[in-house]
A and B are shown apart, each in its own frame.
Chain A
């Protein structure tokens, strides 16, 4: 459901940067999406294409680079992939994982004409 808010954010940034650079058409929008945001890429693409109609981004492709949710235990120092938002260390009894990656949510680049 929140994919719509994210799609709007992407569209605003893309149109803003495209206009500033005097672009005529946006071909591709590069996105960096961390796993923590739980964004469903299908829903995001659907929302985006719906609101991009009639704009410079109407035919833009979303190139999504996903970043896995990785954490490091504050006790044993080992690194793990975090599943189901469980921040407890799978090995130590009371270790907590601090995030290394997976929180990114940005527009990386635009490919324009």
Chain B
């Protein structure tokens, strides 16, 4: 007996994310979806990354914000191709938004594509945009209780960047406790401590990226 089904296998966002994934894989680009609160330092970390990896890896950035192109402008100063997505109120980037922009890029000419998501510790974690890895930036001014309060984003990410460590002496941030909580939520997750002011931790972060790019290209 034949049963007519005609049902889509994946939800709309997952389907488009699968398409993005295939598109990136076909072009050998490693993609990281970088998330974090507004003001955690995502763009600053990216600026430091551009400085260090320029000339070594061919990079591009997709910026996500509700309004303005302020972040894209900052990245553009480093001579790295960047496209700004404005969600006009949307709290996260989704696969359709990323696809629309990625289709306009010369992906074959890239090693590394960084998607800087909208500042938000909640919603972006729910939406696959076709990335290889998710990453979360948490700054020490935000409180060491945040990992347990926002478990999903830490469980979903391959790397946690604990940022602004140069002002740790002035914050109530218990680094050991935060690391313990993050490890409890996501055993084995890579945790890096960084400061964009002093440059601490930027090299280990870039080394992590280099390795992921190499792994992707060898697949």
* B-binding residues in A (CB < 8 A): 2, 5-6, 9-10, 13-14, 17-18, 21, 23, 30-31, 36-39, 84-85, 87, 103, 105-113
Cα(A9)–Cα(B12), bound, Å: 13
Central interface residue in A5, A23, A38, A109, by most chain B CB within 10 Å: A38
Interface positions of B (Cβ within 8 A of A): 1-10, 14-15, 18-19, 21-23, 25-27, 103, 107-108
Q: Closest chain B residue to A35 by CB distance?
A: B22
Say yes or no: A13 contacts B10, CB within 8 Å.
Answer: no
Residues on A with C-beta less than 8 A from B9 are 6, 9-10, 13, 31, 105-107
A36 to B103, CA, bound (A): 12
In the complex, the 9 A-B pairs of residues with the closest C-beta atoms, listed nearest first: A38-B22, A9-B9, A85-B23, A110-B3, A107-B5, A36-B19, A105-B9, A106-B8, A87-B103
Is the Cβ of B26 less than 8 Å from the Cβ of A38?
yes
Distance in angstroms from B171 CB to nearest chain A CB is 39
Give chain A nearest CB distance to B146 CB in angstroms: 29
Select A38's contact among B8, B10, B21, beta carbons within 8 Å.
B21
User: How far is the CB of A92 from the nearest CB of chain B, in Å?
Assistant: 15
Given contacts A9-B10, A84-B26, contact A17 B21 (CB under 8 A): no
List B contacts of A108 (CB < 8 A). Answer: 4-6
Contact flag A109-B5 (CB < 8 Å), given A38-B18, A38-B19, A87-B103: yes
Q: Which residues from chain A contact B8 at a C-beta distance below 8 Å? A: 105-106
Q: Which residue of A lies closest to B24 (CB)?
A: A85
| Chain B residues with CB under 8 A of A18 | 3
For B27, give its contact among A21, A84, A107, A109 (CB under 8 Å): A84
**In the bound complex, do residue A105 and residue B15 qualify as a contact, i.e. CB atoms below 8 Å apart?**
yes
CB neighbours (8 Å) of B4 from chain A are 108-109
The secondary-structure label for the interface of chain A is mixed
Contacts of B27 in A (CB 8 A): 84-85
Task: Assess the A5–B10 pair: CB atoms within 8 A.
Answer: yes
Nearest residue, chain A, Cβ from B23 = A85
Quick one: given A84-B26, A85-B103, are A106 and B18 in contact (CB under 8 Å)?
no
The listed residue with most B CB atoms (<10 A of its CB), out of A31, A36, A85, A103, is A85
Q: Would you list 8 pairs from A and B whose C-beta atoms are within 8 A, ordered by A residue?
A: A13-B7, A23-B1, A37-B15, A39-B18, A85-B27, A105-B15, A106-B6, A109-B5
Q: How far is the CB of B154 from chain A (nearest CB, A)?
A: 21
Q: How far is the CA of A37 from the CA of B103 in the complex (A)?
A: 14
A residues less than 8 Å from B103 (CB atoms): 85, 87
Q: Which residues of A contact B14 (CB under 8 A)?
A: 5
B3→A106 contact, CB < 8 A: no
